[in-house]
Structure 1
Amino acid sequence: MATLEIRDLHVSVDVEGGTKEILKGVNLTVRSGETHAIMGPNGSGKSTLAYSIAGHPKYTVTSGTVTLDGEDVLAMAIDERARAGLFLAMQYPVEVPGVTVSNFLRTAKTAIDGEAPKLRTWVKDVKGAMEHLRMDPAFAERNVNEGFSGGEKKRHEILQMELLQPQIAVLDETDSGLDVDALRIVSEGVNRAKESTDVGVLLITHYTRILQYIKPDFVHVFVDGRVAEEGGPELADRLEAEGYDRYVTAAKA
């Protein structure tokens, strides 16, 4: 059982003329096997939370703690966070010219496990995961995300999640830019990973449509850098019907 604990997290970014506080005291706990949906309007701090957990240098943690099984995540280098079991599926996956998908995946798996996977087993695992995600086998020899469509990039993110088997996966708007078929396929990939490894999932989204496929155990409403309300799946249904206006109004009061 893995446990990611976020306590009173404050995060700032540099802006013209100084710094701006984005996260203003976030408290959140994600355990193995749980799915937490984070929902909220644009600019509420959802992606800032994701990138702060991952260690993006743009974001400065000014106070608070992030621990994984009691270990200080904020003291870890980015690669150490990955080896500890954290995974981030990015909202905007970057292209990596000159590095093929197959080389990238095997190198990442070797770095995380501390030893190279057995080639025959690894090739079988990669092929099977790509088939499940409806990815053409030819993608294995293409450069990472280069020339990929938005949906193909998101499938590749979930391919990484399935193969690298993290303890806690942060999925930053994995549903953005996906058509109905791609959304279903990507969601099935997340659910397969949950069933096979009991990964804890922190799912960041604006919309409830992905929650029709990936059922959350907990829903957290993010507004103005804080968790404004928490609840179960029924909270997502209420957000779909009512929107975020009342939370935004309360934050400004």
Structure 2
Amino acid sequence: MSAQSIGWDSRPRPTMAIVVALYLMIPHGVSAGEGQPAVQAEVEKMLRDDLDLEQVAVALAGSEVTLTGPVATFWDKNEAINRTLALDGVETVASELTIPGAEDDAGIAEEVVEAIRTYRFITIWDYVGGGVIDGVVTLNGTVTPDRDKSGDLFERVAKIPGVQDVQMRIVQQSASRRDNDLRRGIAARALRHPALSHYTLVADVPPFRIVVDQAVVTLVGAVRSGVESNILESITRQSFETREVVNLLQYPQ
């Protein structure tokens, strides 16, 4: 039986091959560039409905979104950028968002100190410090790993009016059982000592900190005298599993 012809010309047809390739590359029923208005509308809706940023303008060029306009705080700016980046069809975000400045850095510094002081998860085992230059806040220090304290503090500081940026240099301590036992043991013995027990009467967290990481204990913060500093260091050194003690305590001379 001879082969039956089905009317297909087997000779190469380059033009048809190109057309077929393009047809396969573009989703059926969608023309090139048709998705851009939808992406822009989604960004605008997110900014308006989720973040209440109605004054922010959105421009889209390819997969890059440009955000322009005033926002109240650095937290608003950061959220606008991060949430825009999380949307499908967006690869980069160019920010032209502006934040009102504060009168001076001293006012911002006072609010940063208050934000840290009133953070209810700060303990005797956490130490956080920092500085402010031209509205840019830098937070440094070390915290225990029981929750995302660094993220919490970032949010609290980023919402302070006048803050232009927040640089986080806070590291997380070890979560080992040995370090946890050292933290609890040293703190309990220190606050039971007759010379140091008065700190439990004036504040939930004393002005000194007991930082433990990999069995290295750093004493930092403030005490009333050199005698208290020596007592606290002695208590720390008596802990069997302590590998090293660093005493950075400050006190009136």
Q: TM-score, normalized by length of structure 1? A: 0.24
Name whichever structure is richer in strand by fraction.
Answer: 1
Structure (1 or 2) with the larger CA radius of gyration: 2
Of structures 1 and 2, the one with the larger relative CO (CA 8 A, separation 6+) is 1
